[in-house]
Amino acid sequence: MKIILAKPRGFCAGVDRAIICVEKALERHGAPVYVLNDIVHNKHVVDNLREKGAIFVKDMDDVPAGAHLLFSAHGVGPERWDKAKNLDLEVIDATCPLVEKVHFEARRFASKDFTIVLIGEEGHDETVGTMGWAPEHIRLIITKEDIDHLEVLDESKVAFITQTTLSVDDCQEVIDALKIRFPDITGPPTADICYATSNRQDAIRALAPQSDLVLVVGDRESANSTRLSEIARDYEKESYLLSNAEQIDPSWFDGISTVLVTSGASVPEVLVQDVLKRIQEIEPSEIEEAELAEENVHFRLPTTIS
């Protein structure tokens, strides 16, 4: 059996930066360091940081006054900043710079009194944070069917922004439908969807047709990992989203000659290597790495931690 190992895969620059922020905060200030929500959507990463002394909270009222609090890579709205100030917390902002770009666009369009259509998942940490920057202006949708129910004050002043981890194709379909409904709609000067999300989706599209089975390493809470598995199924390929090697079912490989393995942008490489090792225990396999794009993006650490 042959294993095609997609590259790029795994950590994006924003995830890498967020994890480093937690580790450096622990080194500098000692445990505990508090993190609002999961720093990234990966249980292995969260558990590892928890063992080092990070405490993950859903409610800022659970953070003692004067403590150090990290905002996750998904970003937060201004109300969280205000509450942190009121609670006298020392904030370390690990928001991905690409998410910050979306926040800036929301504020910019809102300042011009535009109705802003945010294409994103309801309840997702990133979407909740983005909506906080312009709550009276933003309308949230996820499918082109949602467009029929949109109400705007002025059809000549409509803009769109997007969650950074959506399917590129699905998102473009919604944008195209928005342009039909609102011919004057405007958008950001560059696409909101993250470079790493796009690259990993492009790799699936290029390599899935060569494969009989697609395995995506990533948690179900991870939007970009889920998208990868969905794209594989678009090619009518058997596809499984698994968070670790223990979830592999040996029966998946019956009659299979080629397996494609990739991982979402919040997945550490050790989990991918564990999956490869487990596959080779089940079925003798050769690994062939297929690199479709080179990634050399790095983001500076926030000044509060660098």
Just list the catalytic residues. 126
Burial (CB count within 10 angstroms: exposed 0-12, middle 13-18, buried 19+), residue 304:
middle
Dist CA 35 CA 68 (whole Å): 8
